[in-house]
Chain A
């Protein structure tokens, strides 16, 4: 080991383990968040999936908005896509607080789907632990420690290339855990460096506002206002008819590309100064920047468009895009999902190594019991909490008021219970929680399959993933965590 690696061993092992209690749940929820729309579809069986043409969908949305929101200042229409095969409509006086509804893509009927955060809960927890700005500071700090743990890990790993492909599952337990830690870390190193770095870049907007202070007097949205062109005007108060939105859509597709419009925003519908703005999909480019065009609502003349970007903004948004993975289709989503879980496995193996080493030195003292329990709560515990969130979605009746809060409460209460369980059951908790998680996976998958999950591609995908996860968790609980000799 290099002298530098030796000096950084403490940071790598202890910093890594302490922050892994947070980073492992963040990696697990982040992996699930890759499939956010699919999970939302699973959690809202009321949602339908019918293929349709964008122009039909826009006409249906327009009819609905004319009927229910003709007096509003803003309309937003999300066109059906492969991943979200229904129409989203929203309206209101304030563009940041719109009332939202979902319509069937073919009939245009409201779907009255159950109230839930859906897959977005995982994205939300992943980004800020549901704590807002303080949460982004915490996750940001964890991200910086993760980067340091990765870099120090490379320096500590003295046989990086010699043991590049090495996995010795039948060697001693320490050796096997070390091989798992090293192999998963080395194999997914490009992904882990990329995802952690870009995640920190996204969060730095909150936790490192130095440039915002120096350039924009601390106004957090001013940087965006400078690079995203805005085409707006005040309502005139004079009523005027609008061209059909399908006509605007066709004009927008001529500029942005056929089938490339993701959503429409109408400002001041029915006013002489009304505007229709179309946003482009970001699913075919690395950078998460959405080209947009704006037309005069009444006569269809081009009011403004932006398809070119400040190159530095584009580069920054490419880092954001690399993290959020809207590009690259199904292939890339599976690679991200599995790579993220590999990252969690790498950290879990590291935790197992350190706990084992400390136990050999210090025995079962009180700190050891606490460290063991925190490890269990972060690894099988956060998996159980995520499954509890999904289970609550099925157990709480669809029409219950405030049910989305109850689902989230289920996540956090089960997580707390896994910690208490781990404190009470000591090392046996690992095995028990892994078996419980595996059983929960299989039960959820079977319950959904027998309640109509087979008809919907997204739900089928989630169910199969749950089954596979259940099998893997069961196998690993047998192999690694039986009879309490977990770590």
Chain B
């Protein structure tokens, strides 16, 4: 279960960065506008973390099973970020 947890947290962090890289979510979450530079950095960090999560799952589960598990994890990372944003964006 440990590798699943690590992959899940990495993917969740990646999705948080990608969401914050979007203007309306940054504003809803942090209450202020992001500079274009910040948004770009956040998106970059998001893709970087995402790549890390894929690499980790391939390393642990192999090249055929790893991506399947990672895609499964991705679903719940997206839902997790949406729930965080829904709660924060009251």
A-side residues, CB < 8 A to B, are 162, 164-170, 183-184, 186-188, 190-191, 194, 285-286, 318, 322, 327-328, 330-332, 335-336, 338-339, 342
- Bound-state CA distance A332–B74 (Å) is 13
B73 CB within 8 Å of chain A: yes
Interface of A is mostly: helix
Q: Is the interface of B mostly helix, strand, loop or mixed?
A: helix
> Top 4 nearest A-B pairs by Cβ distance?
A335-B72, A187-B78, A331-B4, A167-B86
Contact among B19, B73, B75 with A165 in the assembled complex (CB-CB below 8 Å): B19
Residue with the greatest number of chain A CB neighbours at <10 A, chosen from B15, B19, B25, B75: B75
A166 touches B72 (CB 8 A): no
Contacting pair A286 B65 (CB below 8 A):
yes
Contact B25 A165 (CB under 8 A): yes
Q: Are A170 and B74 in contact (CB under 8 A)?
A: no
Cβ of A330: which chain B residues have Cβ within 8 Å of it? 1
Subset of 28 A-B contacts with CB under 8 Å: A164-B19, A165-B25, A166-B85, A167-B82, A168-B89, A183-B78, A184-B79, A187-B74, A187-B76, A187-B78, A187-B79, A188-B75, A190-B71, A190-B74, A191-B71, A194-B71, A285-B64, A286-B68, A322-B68, A328-B65, A331-B1, A331-B69, A332-B69, A335-B69, A335-B72, A335-B73, A338-B76, A339-B75
Question: Is B61 located at the chain interface by the 8 A CB criterion?
Answer: yes
- Whether A339 pairs with B19 at a CB distance below 8 angstroms is no
| Tally of contact residues, B, Cβ under 8 A | 27
A contact residues around B71 at 8 Å (CB): 190-191, 194
B78 surroundings in chain A (CB, below 8 A)? 164-165, 183, 186-187
Closest Cβ–Cβ distance, residue A395 to chain B (whole Å): 35
- Rounded to whole angstroms, the CA-CA distance of A191 and B69 in the bound complex is 10
Q: Report chain B residues within 8 Å CB of A191.
A: 71-72, 75
CB distance from A480 to the nearest CB of B (A): 15
Whether a CB of chain A sits under 8 angstroms from the CB of B81 is yes
B72 near A167 (CB under 8 angstroms)? no
Distance in Å from the Cβ of B88 to the closest Cβ of chain A?
A: 11
